[in-house]
Amino acid sequence: MDKNHDIQMPLMADLAANNKTPEFLLWIGCAGAYDERYQKVIHALIIVLSHASIDFAVLGPEESCTGDPARRAGNELLFQMQALSNIQILNNYKVKKIITPCPHCYNTFKNEYPALGGNYQVIHHVELLDHIISDNPDYLSSWDNFEGKKITYHDSCYLGRSNNIYDQPRQIIESLKGTLTEMGRNKEDGLCCGAGGSQMFKEAEKGKKEINIERTEEILKTKAEIVATACPFCLTMLSDGIKTVEKEDEILVLDVVELFNKAAEKSPT
């Protein structure tokens, strides 16, 4: 992949003005819009989508929160207000397929919007990456910069237990020739990063240990050099945990699409 590849972010409104409808809407999400660290993940994803010639567009200023945090915090009215507003915008643009890097957005679109009239084919970016690799067996043939590196993968609750997406991110890591080293608690038995259920937006209750620190201790036991995840909440919580134990110079915390893109950038092709 050409690391100087031009990044195109077409807007749905601009395409609609020219009577065009892209195959996919890329839903950036709140983290992608406001979190400087996660914007790097979005940047990597857009490079991959552009290189793979995926026909997509973004809502830009028309995108709002899906309402997931509001519903998890118990504010059902706010959730429905946000959801119905989004559904109106999406249906006006005749959106059929949505790509999102956020498991919370994924779960909300896929499992909760249909009850309110929002019916879409929802694809998480690890599913898309896995399809890209599966459809192009030689795509990664020269990418070997993760060979010999220990990589552990943290399962997002909403991607894993809620939607049974376990194999795709692991297949991507193995395709990149990384040595997958599982934590003791993984897949169906994986441990939450500590941010779910709107815990990300409130002070923690009193207890003996923060959940992300406990998860960090499990990461350390694997002796992995890289922690991969596929959720903006998990990325933040695990990064904070690694910093708390002062291991940020030894252990990288990366989204799966960042691994994918880093491998591409270092490939000779």
**Does residue 7 belong to any structural domain of this protein?**
no
**Does residue 223 belong to any structural domain of this protein?**
yes
Q: Where are the beta strands (DSSP E) in the chain?
A: 24-26, 56-57, 97-100, 121-124, 150-153, 179-180, 226-229, 252-255
Does 245 lie in the same domain as 212? yes
The mean-pLDDT minimum among 8-12, 234-238, 247-251 falls in: 8-12
Does 251 lie in the same domain as 155? yes
pLDDT score of 147: 79
Could you list the residue range(s) of the whole structural domain that residue 261 is in?
A: 140-266
The mean-pLDDT minimum among 109-123, 136-150, 183-197, 246-260 falls in: 136-150
Does 169 lie in the same domain as 61? no
Q: Which of 128, 148, 173 is the last residue of a domain?
A: 128
We report the CATH number of the domain holding residue 182 as 3.40.50
Domain total of the chain:
2
Mean pLDDT (the chain) is 89
Neighbours of 217 (CB within 10 A): 13
User: When comparing pLDDT for 198 and 233, which is higher?
Assistant: 233
**Does residue 164 belong to any structural domain of this protein?**
yes
Percent above pLDDT 70 for the chain:
87
pLDDT tens-digit series, residues 184-221: 999 999 999 886 665 665 566 777 788 889 999 999 99
Question: Is the per-residue pLDDT at 21 higher than 70?
Answer: yes
Q: Which of 128, 148, 177 is the last residue of a domain?
A: 128
Does 17 lie in the same domain as 100? yes
What is the phi/psi pair of residue 241, to 5°? -65, -45
pLDDT score of 197: 61
**Does residue 2 belong to any structural domain of this protein?**
no
Does 81 lie in the same domain as 144? no
pLDDT band at 144 (very low <50, low <70, confident <90, very high): low
User: When comparing pLDDT for 27 and 260, which is higher?
Assistant: 27
CA dist 238 and 224 (Å) reads: 13
Percent above pLDDT 90 for the chain:
73
pLDDT band at 141 (very low <50, low <70, confident <90, very high): low
pLDDT score of 148: 83
pLDDT score of 2: 42
